[in-house]
Structures are given as structure tokens and as C-alpha cells.
Amino acid sequence: MQQRNLGNSGLKVSLVGLGCNNFGGDRIDLEASRQVIHKALDLGITLIDTADTYGNRGERETILGECLGVRRKDIVLATKCGLPMDDAGTLRGASRRYILSAVEASLKRLKTDWIDLFIIHRPDPQTPIEETLRALDDLVRAGKLRYTGCSTFAAWQMVEAQWTARHHNLNHFVCCQDQYNLFKRGLEKDLQPVMQNYGLGLIPHTPLASGLLTGKYRRNAPMPAGARMTKEKRQADRWLNNANWELVERFDTFCKARGHTLLELAMSWLASRTVVSSIIAGATSPEQLELNARAVEWKLSAEDLANIDAVTKKGGCGASLG
């Protein structure tokens, strides 16, 4: 498994990471989760990503803590805070008070003394960014966190955060976690230049568009049993539309002509982006995880990438893939 630095930091992460949002609940149980996690380690996947809100408010972190055991030291463990952890909405945000308590709760659930990468899940408009960064800096200096990052920050919010950290000599964010895939390339306009200027690595979330870029969904065909968009109408409504179906069919033809799969295209295209440090993809079985891990091995040519750009970028919807 290829390793990349997380942005300009010294932290190395696997090009393919494991997202833990499938663990527990009605997806896969503890033992099935254990099999996926151990398969990830066997494949050389080092970045394992979760969040306090994944599952039944802490369930995914608890499962991960149960499954890692002595192999905790072999991974880069990433988690997040910021989204509501109670019905009243009082356990949320990025204030000093909440961050300190959220980190302690995550450490307990994960059964570890430190978190390698701690990500602020959403911007908190009610808390000054300096307060957030000072709290994170204190936790880094205390050894409870190693690195920090942000998720779904606007470009101006990332600039403000990085400038504040530099101005006050605080530990700064080393990565961003944002939606990025063949359907969603909007971050290239504003966010990507900021990431490149400040040396932030990108960890794309939803790299496979909730499964639409795996090839298992087909227009006017029965939905696959047990698949995410089969079970979650909200996700199906979000992704299954005529424009996306047309792109899927063009991409499928493009892949077949070159002896590859749609999954390989989706993952290898992300791997070709210099700003991407690691691609977080979920899996419900060891076999699915291995397919994800192997899917980055297609080396797309400059011509391939130009053809993809022509189709996916704004104004290119009428173009064809050569």
C-alpha cells in the first residue's frame, strides 16, 4: 500500500484509508467489523477514520476500540467532534469547554491514550477560531492529540484558521476532509488553492458517491439487496438522477474499453490528484475492502485525465470520453 505525507506534515498515511461509518447499527456487527479492520491492517491500510457521532453517538468509536487491541499502535487513528451528541444540542461545537470533554470521551471509547488525527467536523460560528485552536494546541502539547484538521470549512474559514495559528504560534490544521469525487469537483475552484497554499492534505469523503461509482447500481435495473442506497432513500434521492446516470454510463464505456472497472476509475482518479493524501472508503466485508485497496493501481494517462475533465467539469456535459 502506497504511503503519502498528510499535506506538508511529517505524518504518513496510506493512500487508501478505512472509513468506519458502516460499523454497528443495522450495517455490520462487532465481529464483522473486526474482520474488516483486521483485513485493513493486513493490506497495509494505516489510516482509519471515524467520528464521535457515527453510529448511535459513539458506537463506531466503541467498536473500533474493541477491535484494535494491541494493533492500535500500527495505525493512524482519526476521529472528529463538533456535531450534536445529544438531543438537546448542548453537546456540540468547537468551544474549549466542549472540545476538552469530547476528546476525553473519544479516548475512553477508543481505548487509547492518544488520537493521531483529530478533526473539527464542522465550523462553529458561535466560537472564535482562536479559542478552538488554543484548545487543540493545549491537547497536542499534552500528548493527547498528535495532529489536527478540519472538515467542511469554507475557503475563507481555512485561511482564517491557518493565519490565526501562525500569528499566535499555535499548532495548525494539517488536512481538510471534504466531499470530492467524479461527480462533485466544486472544491477545485476555491478550496484547493487554499489547501495548496497552506500545505493542507485532502482526505476526500464520499469518494464513491455512496456506491454509485462502484458499478453495482444500474439505470432501470433492480436495486441491489442490502446496498446503501437501497436502504437509505435520502442517499438515493441525492445521487440517482438522469445527469449522474449519463455520466456513469459514459464512464462505464470508458473503463470497459481499457479493461478496467468503474470502481478503479473512481479511486485511481482521486489518487491522481496531487492534493489528495488518503482516500477514505467504507466497507462492509474484507472482500469489498480489498477491492477498494486494489482500485488505486490504475495509472491514468494525461490523455485519460483530459478526457475525464472534459466530461466532468462545468460546461463539459456534452463531451464524450475518448
Catalytic residues, by residue number, are 54
* 10 grid coordinates: 511529517
Say which amino acid occupies 66. Answer: E
Cα–Cα distance, 311 to 313 (Å, whole number): 6
Phi-psi region of 277 (alpha: psi -120 to 50; beta: other; left: phi over 0): alpha
Beta-carbon count within 10 A of 243 CB: 9
- The secondary structure of 259-312 as a DSSP string is T--HHHHHHHHHHT-TTB--EEEE-SSHHHHHHHHHGGG----HHHHHHHHHHH
Cα–Cα distance, 302 to 304 (Å, whole number): 5
Phi, psi (5° rounding) for residue 245? -60, -40
**Residue 77: strand pairing partners:** 48
* 287 grid coordinates: 472482500
DSSP label at residue 23: B
Asked if 50 and 9 count as a contact pair (C-beta separation under 8 A), the reply is no
Residue carrying C-alpha cell 478540519: 150
The closest alpha carbon to 149, from 192, 118, 107, belongs to: 118
Q: What's the number of CA atoms in the CB half-sphere (13 Å) around residue 169? A: 0
The closest alpha carbon to 276, from 169, 171, 191, belongs to: 191
Cα–Cα separations (whole angstroms), residue 216 to 62, 155, 213, 252? 30, 34, 8, 11
* Cβ partners under 8 Å of residue 303, min gap 6: 322
